[in-house]
Amino acid sequence: MYAIAVRRGEGSPTLVEKPRPEPGPGEALVRTLRVGVDGTDHEVIAGSHGGCPEGEDHIVLGHEAVGVVEDPNGTGLSEGDVVVPTVRRRPNGSNGYFDRGEPDMAPAGRYHERGIDGAHGFMAEYFVSPAEHLVRCPAAIAELGFLVEPASITEKAIEHARASRSAFEWTPESAFVLGNGSLGLLTVAMLDDAFDRLYCLGRRDRPDPTIDIVEELDATYVDSRETPVDEVSAVHEPMDFVYEATGYARHAFETIEALAPNGVGALLGVPGDWEFEVDGGTLHREFVLHNKALVGSVNSGVRHFERAVESVAALPEWFTDALVTGVYGLDEFERAFDVDDDTTIKTAVELGSL
């Protein structure tokens, strides 16, 4: 079968031939339909994040996949089930995080991430996976199934943010999504029903397709060059919920000032080292006197994927049409990794069809 991999040190994805995998006990064989591309893939390709499986000189890419069960292999799945795989896998034997269905809470060293770190990904014509890590998805949204993994990231962040506010009556009205990349836009669409007023931060000039999407979702576009995150409270309104998806470290701290009393910020970006000055006294005081919270959130588990399936199914068609700017077959897979263009939002590689 064909797969798309990156060889150690090469810096660009390449088509490789590999034997079709055989499912082991408890594993199903899945024929891959589509696999999305995101910023993490680009970091893996660049060699700045993750790494090859032990003893191998390449890693098959892809962690945002949807496929169809080809061989249930005695698991509870059925041939023809459309499934989305979760990303983390047991590294060596088992550990408590996996045993209780919370691999997303495992610390570094206690997991592999398929397509990212220590395990091959899903960007291949077939993959095998333990059935416990496969989440069923209605066939009607099979073509959008590659959006379930990113949506699950947001489901987990929302779950943890809400949990942090569960000790009192929290009735949030305003939400501010930092970042107008594909995850930011997906999140604005997912938050649409839960918040009265939505804002989305970007740093692009009009006309721009991401700004069009923000506004079509009835959200307010906030240009960070005009209104920095720590001024949004004064310029627009204090935010009950902030969702940071920029990976820009200053935003993590400016979020504290953007929050309304009793608000919470979910942090999702993974920046590199960067020292800078903060008004730490003011931030500390704001945290305390207004009962604010920040929660970091990484990865996601089966229950977040299950919720994400529902969220993706509920997305308006115009939105997914606008969000997914390109789906490319194996013959032109390179185009899915091309990000030089401001008209590209979300791409996927198509490896098969229902």
Which spans of this chain sit near a copy of itself (rule: CB under 8 A)? 100, 102, 104-105, 107-108, 159-160, 162-169, 249-250, 252-253, 261-262, 267-298
> Residues with Cβ < 8 Å from 147, sequence gap 6 or more?
36, 64, 186, 312, 315, 320, 323, 324, 346
Q: Which residue's CB is nearer to a copy of itself, number 17 or number 169?
A: 169
| Closest separation in Å from C-beta 230 to a copy of itself | 13
| Closest separation in Å from C-beta 287 to a copy of itself | 3
CA-CA-CA-CA torsion sign (43, 343, 187, 314): negative
| Closest separation in Å from C-beta 117 to a copy of itself | 11
Q: Which residue's CB is nearer to a copy of itself, number 262 or number 344?
A: 262
| Closest separation in Å from C-beta 268 to a copy of itself | 6
| Closest separation in Å from C-beta 11 to a copy of itself | 23
Length, in residues, of the chain: 354
How far apart (Å, rounded) are the C-alpha atoms in residues 68 and 354? 7
Q: Which residue's CB is nearer to a copy of itself, number 108 or number 140?
A: 108
Q: Which residue's CB is nearer to a copy of itself, number 258 or number 267?
A: 267
Residue type, 144: L
| Closest separation in Å from C-beta 328 to a copy of itself | 30
Q: Which residue's CB is nearer to a copy of itself, number 1 or number 295?
A: 295
Using left for φ > 0, alpha for ψ between -120 and 50, and beta otherwise, residue 291 falls in left
User: Degrees (nearest 5) of the Cα angle 313, 318, 321?
Assistant: 85
DSSP lists the bridge partners of residue 174 as 197
CA-CA-CA-CA torsion sign (40, 5, 12, 350): negative
Q: Which residue's CB is nearer to a copy of itself, number 128 or number 298?
A: 298
Using left for φ > 0, alpha for ψ between -120 and 50, and beta otherwise, residue 283 falls in alpha
